[in-house]
Amino acid sequence: VDAFQAWCGPCKTVVGLFRKIRNEVGSDLLHFAVAEVDSIDALATYRGRSEPVFLFYAVSENTATV
């Protein structure tokens, strides 16, 4: 998950990089999402930063882990 702020233009450009990687490795292995931290209370910790924040999740057969 790419957690970004709306005012951070360079943070938005990372989406294109994720799409390129996903196309190279295949969509079955990599899923990505973007989340604007200004509008999601659970991500308030990441507000006010000028660098992108990436949250990685791994999923096993029975549980999801952070």
Question: What's the confidence (pLDDT) of residue 29?
Answer: 67
Residue with structure tokens 């390129």?
Answer: 20
In tens, the pLDDT along 21-66 reads: 878 887 676 777 888 888 889 888 888 876 777 888 777 776 655 5
Question: What's the confidence (pLDDT) of residue 50?
Answer: 67
Closest-CA residue to 2 (of 44, 40, 34, 42): 34
In tens, the pLDDT along 43-54 reads: 888 888 767 778
